[in-house]
Amino acid sequence: MDIPRIFNIAESAHRIHNPFTPEKFATLGVALRLENGTRMLDLGSGSGEMLCTWARDHDIIGTGIDMSQLFTEQAKLRAVELGVADQVRFIHGDAVGYVSDEKVGVAACVGATWIGGGVVGTIELLARSLRTGGIILIGEPYWRQLPPTEDVVKGGLANSISDFLILPELLASFGHIGCDVVEMVLADQDGWDRYEAAKWLTMRRWLEANPDDELANEVRAKLTSEPERYAAYTREYLGWGVFALMLR
Ligand code: SAH
């Protein structure tokens, strides 16, 4: 079981698999006023940077589940590197339907809301693991500005304009399903560059090391087209943020 290999290739050198930077995760950790010993669940935990750094900085404990074997291995190594391997646990697996045995103070899905079939379903799923008064974290894109044409929608890698909302609508949508938005930290274009542009050097080096791989043509095509596509669409039109929610 794994995610499509192209992601494991392009993001093999990423610690954070979304437009957040280490500074943004640090800001969010402080903003949430995490108490020592807070138990966390992270669905789609990637390479584990959020759980590992918050274990180091705020003494949280937690579990992350991710379908990428590579990212999960990297998360375990990162926990050892930061000296928090006894606080965080990373499971390689499908997080669809995952509910923790023990209730958690923070239940997160940061950039993987397809796990619950969208934002609403993911909030419902996370709520099943949440203790009373706990916080749900959702990392999700929104339109920075509404795309004027279908080309821009597709160029921003959405299927339709309705895939995302503009920020005020996204915030309102949480209220419509009975959640208070209690904090948010938004990514910026520099953060997008760290996420997207970092893939290019990784792809280039991978191509040099794997010229005969069955994915070489696909990676070559991506490396050629991505910088322009990204600058024209994603960087201009897509915002991204982590939203902290409490059930009313
Ligand atoms: N939250 C992480 C990773 C975000 S990228 C971070 O902030 O860095 C999305 C992640 O979801 C990837 O790591 C991918 O491997 C994982 N993923 C995709 N489908 C999944 C599934 N069904 N179950 C668990 N993880 C999944």
- Residue 34 gets which letter from DSSP? P
Nearest to 62 by CA among 110, 97, 1: 110
Confidence at 120, pLDDT banded by 50, 70, 90: very high
Task: Work out the average pLDDT over 85-105.
Answer: 98
Is the beta carbon of 67 within 6 A of some atom in ligand 1? yes
Best residue for ligand 1 mutational test, from 53, 66, 72 (most atoms within 8 Å of Cβ)? 66
pLDDT at 152: 86
Cα 25 to ligand 1 centre (Å)? 16
pLDDT of 157 reads 81
* Cα dihedral 57, 62, 68, 73 sign: positive
C-alpha to C-alpha distance for 97 and 72, rounded to whole angstroms:
19
Contacts of 15 (CB under 8 A, 6+ apart): 22, 47, 49, 74, 78
**What does the DSSP assignment read for 199-224?**
HHHHHHHHHHH-TTSTTHHHHHHHHH
- Signed CA dihedral, 207, 44, 21, 88: sign only: negative
Ligand 1 atom nearest residue 115's Cα: 22
- Report the percent of the chain where pLDDT is more than 90: 94
**159 vs 141, residue with greater confidence:** 141
> How confident is the model over 186-244, as pLDDT tens digits?
999 999 999 999 999 999 999 999 999 999 999 999 999 999 999 999 999 999 999 99
Model confidence at 155, pLDDT cuts 50, 70, 90, reads confident
Quick one: average pLDDT of 54-76?
98
Give the pTM: 0.97
- Interval 10-32: pLDDT, tens: 999 999 999 999 999 999 999 99
Cα(182)–Cα(32) distance, integer angstroms:
9
pLDDT digits (tens, 9 = 90+) for 163-198: 999 999 999 999 999 999 999 999 999 999 999 999
Q: Is 29 in the pocket of ligand 1 (CB under 6 A)?
A: no
**Substitution site in 115, 138, 240 for ligand 1 pocket (most atoms within 8 Å of beta carbon):** 115
14: its two tokens:
């990423």
**Nearest residue CA, atom 3 of ligand 1?**
46
Alpha-carbon distance of 106 to 62, in angstroms, equals: 9
By alpha-carbon position, which residue is closest to atom 9 of ligand 1? 112
Answer whether 112 contacts ligand 1 (Cβ < 6 A): yes
pLDDT score of 158 more than 90: no
Q: Is 95 in the pocket of ligand 1 (CB under 6 A)?
A: yes
Q: Look over the chain and give the mean of its residue pLDDT values, rounded to a whole number.
A: 97
Using the atom order of ligand 1, give the atom closest to the CA of residue 110: 1
CA 191 / ligand 1 centre spacing (Å): 18
